[in-house]
Structure 1
């Protein structure tokens, strides 16, 4: 009868490319217990079958399996269980890839927004610039409520953080900035009174995903860029309203603000960039804007 061959821990380490320290750890957690252990020297010896098991462990580890799952695979030791485990693991990998791709898109979106804000800072001019723009249709996650004794200069950091966290907790993909819509007459938000306000954030998902997601945009607007400390934005509102009137446009919707670089993005108020958006329509016979 052929004598059964055993391998020392050093031999297993060399053949399977597993550090000795790791093999000792596998012994401690009962993942791979050597078949022979000499009590006097504590030397470990592994059988041929255990050598194969050691290689399997290394292979599954290299594929991303955790030790708990590997222990289950080895314990069951059937091809059917191997196949099921690999199918499950592939699904987990696909989910991880999808999450990483989502994170990349969100990072790209944030980068694009900050670059846009930085361009407004670097390209600033002494004279205010007003534009007529088409606001593209998007989807936003919104939260609308009556805020008691609201004053516009009192930046609602908590509400901005809350709407951002709500999107994250729902697993939504953030696709753009935060918007604040004032469901009141123009300038109403600047007086200390109850104000109907909606805080929203652009997301990729559509309204079928969540009841608080709705469409936004798809209209013509007069816009102005405000740079810096938010408490002085009132002057830009007045100037934009005057420009709208001088060019014979009519306001036809609620005023909103888009925060390209907001107070929850940076504490440096000099770098805050807000776009004021006023929905408008052209009366018949309107002259070209000056």
Structure 2
């Protein structure tokens, strides 16, 4: 808008159109277009206009659109079915439905056709008491080379840290309180995972939380690990598993892992792997006792033990 006003002002000041175009980096045709609009409409003619065409001769006729909408209302089927019944193309039917803001089939009741609110549409589930369910997961984290990695020195081959291995962050998050217990361990094998579970349950017990159930993904260590199973039996834990291909079932652990990466692991460049691991416990303590958690009203997880 500012450039268009300059065109008018400079033209009124006696500048030739060619010079105005050169100074503003546009074509002379553009200059003449805005001068013409100003003559015809005044300053209002310089406002942006919709690029939508004045007419759409190829648009689906109104009576065909009415047939599509009527059949959709009675049959409650998708564009492919409707197109087959009406002798049309599915993309045309889909475009008509979108143009008229017809709700998708997933958002309506198949019997009544009325909009419904699905249980999965943004509604958080939560167990009633601390310890009712403990979400468990492992986050694989590349180690930081001595002297710092590429986040500190840039992407150069000599600071990529090839071959130095990974840390396995074993995570346990209580479903009700969101309290988290984390250990950085050298692997995710059966013995290692079983030891972590035993220490995690003891950590929660020391805070007055009796763990009753655990939820994990379908990794072999959780499904078939003998030591893992023995710890579960010894502690009286009921095991639950996520549905295959549905990682969001273990969503609280997955969401904690994302926070762990953004606010701890990659929050700043580290000088060494030891430097990073030395601060892990303090960060988890901050997460549990001071960091505001949006899912529990902006309070830290520790406050839910007293509620």
Settle same-fold status: TM greater than 0.5. no
Identify the structure with the greater helix proportion.
2
TM-score range, shorter chain: under 0.3
**TM superposition score normalised by structure 2:** 0.23
**TM superposition score normalised by structure 1:** 0.24
Higher RCO structure, 1 or 2 (CA under 8 Å, sep 6+): 1
